Amino acid sequence: MTLDLAGVEEALRGVTARFDRRYWLDCTTKQEFPRELWEALTKADLLGVGVPERYGGVGGGIAEAVALMEGLGRAGMPCYSYVLLNICRELILRHGSEEQREEHLPSSVRGERTFAFAITEPDAGTNTFAITTTARPHGDHWLVRGQKTFISAADTADVMIVTCRTPESNDRREGFALVLVDPSDPRIEKQPLNIAVPSPERQFSIFFDDVRGTVIGDAREAFRYLWTVLNPERLLSAATQVGIGDHVLARAVDYAKHRAPFGTAIGQYQAIQHRLAHAYATLESARLMTRTAAQTFDRTGGAGAESNVAKLLASEASVEACEIALQVHGGSGFDADTDIITLWPLARLSKVAPVNNEMILSYLGEHILGLPKSY
């Protein structure tokens, strides 16, 4: 069976009718993987999006995954585990061996396998070229040694893809390896970080002490492999932000219709109404750009410019929506129980991760406008 875009949207409506922001906040408070939501997504065939039928999936591409993330965000459930699932599976599907596909894809469609994706290192930060975690061949497997940080869902994931350098990496772009490891391996040490972005997923610093793993594809090609999922990651991040923006704006509009400290609903004042309308317009342009970029990616496999613009606009749109929602809610916006201030860190994070907006602008300046490289 396959699911087209309309089928994904319909199936998702069935899921979000049963799970909402309260469920998500409950998982966040308990710091628990959203297991019941994951099971509902599985039953609705939505974990099969992006996976061909021969591996148990329902087909589709990034456009369908974008629709899914936008819808989950709109329901107040910005499920980063789904982004991780999608990009890790893309790597395995596009570049892994047949054995790796058989091992990881059908089980992930059945909801039995989740992923973490480890690139960031404490010293290298944004500069992936400067990573120092190594992978070296050892018999029929590879050994990973080094350190990563800010790695989401490392405690709950069943599989982790680690971006490494190989011993002979003296070229800037060559000598990368993408290694599949078991996050529960005793030679991995995980230290939880105190990240103030309310979410069921936690982040960790991770130490690898000669951890066994298998390499995806040809290690010499790993940098190119990585590049094939960066635009999808940006688009899924953009879709999440558009959905979150929709969610918080709808709540701000609702509040503005009823709150009347001077006897008139504050939504009638142009000072408020125009800001709400502007946030709406900004979200619509980000939505259009994200959906168009996703379709272009599915059609061409490229869409670098479109994906970067979408990520930039969506991060700005969701922050704008959170800002006016906070303003409209007055003091109550800062009460965590009202759950407006709790949405702001996630929106704001999107200007920094998965890639900061300065890097996005540098990409556009250099690759689209033809200006000199700035860093």
Strands 115-118 and 176-181: unpaired
Side chain identity at residue 106, one-letter code: P
We find the least distance from the C-beta atom of residue 310 to ligand FAD, in angstroms, to be: 17
Of the two residues 8 and 153, which places its CB atom closer to ligand FAD in the complex? 153
d(C-alpha 188, C-alpha 135), whole Å: 14
For residue 365 the two structure tokens come to 């300046």
- Nearest-5° angle of CA 252, CA 255, CA 256? 85
Of the two residues 245 and 354, which places its CB atom closer to ligand FAD in the complex? 354
We find the least distance from the C-beta atom of residue 42 to ligand FAD, in angstroms, to be: 22
d(C-alpha 79, C-alpha 16), whole Å: 12
Of the two residues 23 and 363, which places its CB atom closer to ligand FAD in the complex? 363
Cα–Cα nearest to 216, from 119, 95, 309: 95
Any alpha helices (H) in the chain, and if so which ranges?
Answer: 5-16, 21-30, 35-43, 62-74, 80-95, 98-109, 222-258, 270-300, 304-329, 344-349, 357-363
Of the two residues 149 and 296, which places its CB atom closer to ligand FAD in the complex? 149
Q: Which residues bind ligand FAD (CB under 6 A)?
A: 117-120, 125-126, 150-152, 195, 197, 203, 349, 352-356, 358-359, 362, 375
We find the least distance from the C-beta atom of residue 60 to ligand FAD, in angstroms, to be: 24
Strands 188-192 and 203-215: antiparallel
Of the two residues 128 and 332, which places its CB atom closer to ligand FAD in the complex? 128
Of the two residues 120 and 169, which places its CB atom closer to ligand FAD in the complex? 120
Contact between residue 333 and residue 326 where contact means Cβ atoms under 8 Å apart: yes
Of the two residues 252 and 355, which places its CB atom closer to ligand FAD in the complex? 355
Of the two residues 359 and 364, which places its CB atom closer to ligand FAD in the complex? 359
Phi, psi of 274 (to 5 degrees): -65, -35
The residue number with the shortest CB distance to ligand FAD is 125
Cα–Cα nearest to 44, from 10, 85, 72: 10
Cα–Cα nearest to 24, from 346, 369, 263: 346
d(C-alpha 372, C-alpha 203), whole Å: 36
We find the least distance from the C-beta atom of residue 152 to ligand FAD, in angstroms, to be: 3
We find the least distance from the C-beta atom of residue 7 to ligand FAD, in angstroms, to be: 29
We find the least distance from the C-beta atom of residue 16 to ligand FAD, in angstroms, to be: 23
We find the least distance from the C-beta atom of residue 313 to ligand FAD, in angstroms, to be: 17
We find the least distance from the C-beta atom of residue 122 to ligand FAD, in angstroms, to be: 7
